[in-house]
Structure 1
Amino acid sequence: MHSPEPPGGNRPTSRDVAAAAGVSQATVSLVLGDKWRGRVSERTAGAVREAAAQLGYRPNLAARNLRLGRTRTALLVVPALTNEFFARVYHGAATVAARHGFGVVLYPSPAGIGPAKDPFASARAALDGVIASSMATDALQAFGGTDLPLVMLDSDPAGSGAAAHVNLDIADGMRQVTRHLLALGHRRFLHLASAVPSWTFDVRAAALAETLHGATVTTVRAPLDVQGAREATERALTAPGPRPTAVVCDDDILAAGACKAARRLGLRVPEDLSVTGFDDLALATALEPELTTVGLPAERIGERGMAALLAVLDGREPEAGDLPVNLVVRDSSGPAPTA
Structure 2
Amino acid sequence: MAAVHESRRRSGPTVVRGSTRPTSRDVAQAAGVSQAAVSLVLGDKWRGRVSEPTAERVRQAAHDLGYRPNLAARNLRLGHTRTVLLVVPALTTEFFAGVYTGAARVAAAHGFGVVLYPSPEGIGPARDPFASARAALDGVIASSMAADALTAIRGDQLPLVMLDSDPEGSLGTTTVNLDIADAARQIAEHLLALGHRRFLHLAADVASWTFDVRARELAARLAAVPGTELRTVRAPLSIEGAQAATAGALAAAGPRPTALVCDDDKLAAGAYKALRRLGLRVPDDLSVTGLDDLALATAIDPELTTVRLDAELFGERGMRALLAVLDGRTPEAGDIPVQLVVRGSTAPVR
Length-normalised TM-score, structure 1: 0.85
Task: Find the counterpart in structure 1 of residue 192 from structure 2.
Answer: 182
Going from structure 1 to structure 2, the CA distance change for 1:243 and 1:128 (only over 3 Å counts) comes to same
Match of 1:82 among 89, 92, 116: 92
Task: Find the counterpart in structure 2 of residue 5 from structure 1.
Answer: 14
> Which one is further off, 50-59 or 286-295?
50-59
> Deviation of residue 115 (structure 1)?
3.2
Task: Find the counterpart in structure 2 of residue 223 from structure 1.
Answer: 236
* Cα distance in structure 2, aligned partners of 1:217 and 1:269: 19
> Deviation of residue 100 (structure 1)?
2.2
* Cα distance in structure 2, aligned partners of 1:292 and 1:147: 41
Please tell me the residue identity of whatever aligns with 2:199. Answer: F
Q: SS of 2:282's equivalent? A: coil
* Cα distance in structure 1, aligned partners of 2:155 and 2:102: 28
Q: Are positions 1:233 and 2:246 aligned together?
A: yes
> Deviation of residue 299 (structure 1)?
1.1
* Cα distance in structure 2, aligned partners of 1:144 and 1:63: 24
Please tell me the residue identity of whatever aligns with 1:266. Answer: G
Match of 1:161 among 135, 157, 171: 171
Task: Find the counterpart in structure 2 of residue 201 from structure 1.
Answer: 211
Identity %: 68
* Cα distance in structure 2, aligned partners of 1:200 and 1:17: 57
Q: Are positions 1:297 and 2:310 aligned together?
A: yes
Q: SS of 1:275's equivalent? A: strand
Q: Give runs of aligned pairs for residues 39-54 of structure 1, distance below 5 A.
A: 51=60, 53=63
Gap runs ≥5 in structure 1: none
Q: Are positions 1:103 and 2:116 aligned together?
A: no
Q: Are positions 1:148 and 2:161 aligned together?
A: no
* Cα distance in structure 2, aligned partners of 1:158 and 1:26: 46
Going from structure 1 to structure 2, the CA distance change for 1:144 and 1:127 (only over 3 Å counts) comes to closer
Match of 2:101 among 87, 91, 99: 91
Write the deviation string for residues 87-139 of structure 1: whole angstroms up to 9, x where unpaired.
11112112222222222222222434323335565433111111101325655
Task: Find the counterpart in structure 2 of residue 63 from structure 1.
Answer: 73
Q: SS of 2:161's equivalent? A: strand
> Which one is further off, 300-309 or 128-137?
128-137
Going from structure 1 to structure 2, the CA distance change for 1:312 and 1:241 (only over 3 Å counts) comes to same
> Deviation of residue 249 (structure 1)?
0.4
* Cα distance in structure 2, aligned partners of 1:266 and 1:243: 13
Please tell me the residue identity of whatever aligns with 1:94. Answer: A
Going from structure 1 to structure 2, the CA distance change for 1:122 and 1:246 (only over 3 Å counts) comes to same
> Deviation of residue 238 (structure 1)?
2.1
* Cα distance in structure 1, aligned partners of 2:175 and 2:48: 31
Task: Find the counterpart in structure 1 of residue 296 from structure 2.
Answer: 283
Length-normalised TM-score, structure 2: 0.83
Q: SS of 1:80's equivalent? A: coil
Q: SS of 1:327's equivalent? A: strand
Please tell me the residue identity of whatever aligns with 2:126. Answer: A
Going from structure 1 to structure 2, the CA distance change for 1:8 and 1:248 (only over 3 Å counts) comes to closer
Going from structure 1 to structure 2, the CA distance change for 1:50 and 1:327 (only over 3 Å counts) comes to farther
Q: SS of 1:111's equivalent? A: coil
Please tell me the residue identity of whatever aligns with 1:308. Answer: A
* Cα distance in structure 2, aligned partners of 1:130 and 1:279: 24
* Cα distance in structure 2, aligned partners of 1:8 and 1:221: 66
Q: Give runs of aligned pairs for residues 107-118 of structure 1, distance below 5 A.
A: 107-118=117-128
Q: Are positions 1:260 and 2:270 aligned together?
A: no
Going from structure 1 to structure 2, the CA distance change for 1:316 and 1:47 (only over 3 Å counts) comes to farther
* Cα distance in structure 2, aligned partners of 1:99 and 1:137: 27
* Cα distance in structure 1, aligned partners of 2:310 and 2:75: 32
Going from structure 1 to structure 2, the CA distance change for 1:149 and 1:239 (only over 3 Å counts) comes to same
Root mean square deviation of aligned Cα: 3.0
User: Any conservation in 2 of the 1:136–1:196 contact (CA below 8 Å)?
Assistant: no
Match of 2:136 among 106, 122, 126: 126
Count of residue correspondences: 326
Task: Find the counterpart in structure 2 of residue 249 from structure 1.
Answer: 262
> Which one is further off, 220-229 or 54-63?
54-63
* Cα distance in structure 1, aligned partners of 2:171 and 2:157: 11
Q: SS of 1:185's equivalent? A: coil
Q: SS of 1:228's equivalent? A: helix
User: Any conservation in 1 of the 2:87–2:146 contact (CA below 8 Å)?
Assistant: no
Going from structure 1 to structure 2, the CA distance change for 1:30 and 1:223 (only over 3 Å counts) comes to same
Please tell me the residue identity of whatever aligns with 1:222. Answer: A
User: Any conservation in 2 of the 1:177–1:276 contact (CA below 8 Å)?
Assistant: yes
> Deviation of residue 6 (structure 1)?
4.8
Write the deviation string for residues 49-100 of structure 1: whole angstroms up to 9, x where unpaired.
9645466442221222112111121111111122221111112112222222
User: Any conservation in 1 of the 2:262–2:288 contact (CA below 8 Å)?
Assistant: yes
* Cα distance in structure 1, aligned partners of 2:128 and 2:29: 45
